[in-house]
Amino acid sequence: MTNEDGLLELRNQLDNIDNKLLELLNERMNIVHKVGSLKAKSGGAIYRPDREKAIIDRLDKINQAQSGLLNRSAIEALFLEIFAISRNIELPENIGYLGPQGSFTHQAAESRFGAMSSYISISSIKGIFKELASKKIKFGVVPIENSSNGIVNDTINGFTNYDSKIVAEVLLNIHHTLATTCDKISDIKKIYSKDIAFDQCRRFLTNFGLDEVDLIPVESTTKAAKLAANEPNSAAICAHVAAKLYNLPILFENIEDKDNNKTRFFILSDFENAQSGNDKTSILVNLPDEQGVLVRFLNDFNNSGINLTKIKSHIVEGNSIFFIDFDGHKDDDNVKKVLEKHKSSIKVLGSYVKEISDI
């Protein structure tokens, strides 16, 4: 058998496997359609992060036992897209994200809802909370914190004024590029970007002498890419996807000062998750102005064996409040007792599958 004959045989085998995969996927979608009909009648939630994680955990364990070539990341990439297509067959839903298209929040949304979902760019975090409340969108994706810049105040304000529930968290590695039509750095006379992106790339700008050119803040890194694509002698600090969106050549990749630059996002909706066995809960706390009240409050969590993973204080409309994350679900017995004891001071934002401990 010649090499050409061998390649032809292997390609035929791949074609046969692809045919079987298509048949199995259609079989899965037929069952999904039936599940969707039952959920529509019962009012059950279509997006179930706990169920999706359980499936990926199970498949990863099977794959390891079989010494499969796929790693967990590859399994997640394949099946999260299958899950997203399945949800669209069950019941197509609108997903609002902090825009514009190509933003990091857009990337976070696509990482969970896939490429086929119906996305709506919304210009402000407040707008996402408002459209969720009005039922114009089913899901909203908002940033909650960045490893370099801390908690996003607009998201905390949204939770204060609206009753949307956190149904999932997403962690995204944040990488910035310097994109430009210029062939040389010396040709760059102005750089567009979001103010926070300038802060996260300060060392790069200084090292390459770009801190002396005009640094022009705009409302998004996507807009920065659009402007730089149309203006000579300009550049943008933007996401890779934003540069691609406007066919803007990338001069340098990963120019952020910190290698571990990450942003955590929340997926919001109007339902609550069931217990998964690996949950995290977020709450807002407004305590009375009394000596020792915070210590007593925190001791109640400690005495109940609840692990607090984040405590951040904020001023909202003149009032001091705390944003707190802890391990566990709001319906866990030990958690329920503490929440009930302090119910006048606590607003439960949601319990959801734990993806990370902290950033």
pLDDT of residue 102: 84
CATH number of the CATH domain containing 310: 3.30.70.260
Q: If DSSP codes are grouped into helix, strand and coil, which group holds residue 149? A: coil
pLDDT of residue 33: 78
Q: Parallel, antiparallel, or unpaired for β 279-285 and 250-252?
A: unpaired
pTM of the model: 0.80
Q: If DSSP codes are grouped into helix, strand and coil, which group holds residue 172? A: strand
Count of structural domains within the chain: 3
Could you tell me which of 288, 283, 294 has the C-alpha nearest to residue 346? 283
pLDDT of residue 15: 95
Examine the fold and report which residue of 55, 72, 90 is the final residue of a domain before the chain moves on.
Answer: 90
User: Does residue 355 lie within any of the structural domains?
Assistant: yes
Query: Which class for 268: exposed (0-12), middle (13-18), buried (19 or more C-beta within 10 A)?
Result: buried
DSSP code string of 16-50? HHHHHHHHHHHHHHHHHHHHHHHHHHHT--S--HH
As a whole number of angstroms, the longest Cα–Cα distance in the chain is: 86
CATH number of the CATH domain containing 71: 1.20.59.10
Residues 295 and 239 occupy one common structural domain: no
Which residues is 219 bridged to in the sheet?
none
CA-to-CA separations, 193 to 101, 153, 197, in angstroms, rounded: 15, 20, 6
With beta carbons less than 8 A apart as the criterion, state whether 310 and 358 touch.
Answer: yes
Classify the phi-psi angles of 150: left when phi > 0, otherwise alpha if psi is within -120 to 50, otherwise beta. Answer: left
Whole-angstrom Cα distance, residue 272 to residue 106?
Answer: 23
Q: What is the dihedral of CA 115, 124, 316, 217, to 10 degrees?
A: 110
User: Does residue 324 lie within any of the structural domains?
Assistant: yes
For residue 170, give the amino acid letter: V
Find the distance separating the first CA and the last CA of the chain, reported in whole Å. 56
Query: Which class for 43: exposed (0-12), middle (13-18), buried (19 or more C-beta within 10 A)?
Result: exposed
pLDDT of residue 84: 82
Residues 246 and 299 occupy one common structural domain: no
Whole-angstrom Cα distance, residue 75 to residue 261?
Answer: 24
Residues 190 and 241 occupy one common structural domain: yes
For residue 94, give the amino acid letter: N
DSSP code string of 94-121? EEEEESSTTSHHHHHHHHHH-SSSEEEE
pLDDT of residue 42: 52
User: Does residue 65 lie within any of the structural domains?
Assistant: yes
User: Does residue 228 lie within any of the structural domains?
Assistant: yes
pLDDT of residue 222: 92
Examine the fold and report which residue of 90, 123, 148 is the final residue of a domain before the chain moves on.
Answer: 90
Could you tell me which of 21, 11, 36 has the C-alpha nearest to residue 93? 36
Could you tell me which of 328, 321, 254 has the C-alpha nearest to residue 294? 321
Examine the fold and report which residue of 47, 63, 90 is the final residue of a domain before the chain moves on.
Answer: 90
Residues 335 and 303 occupy one common structural domain: yes
What DSSP state is assigned to residue 181? S
pLDDT of residue 100: 87
pLDDT of residue 205: 96
Q: If DSSP codes are grouped into helix, strand and coil, which group holds residue 145? A: strand
Domain coverage including residue 26: 3-90
pLDDT of residue 233: 96
The mean pLDDT values, 10 residues at a time, for the chain of 359 residues are 83 94 93 73 67 90 93 89 81 85 89 85 95 95 90 94 95 93 95 93 95 93 95 95 92 91 94 90 90 90 95 80 95 95 95 84
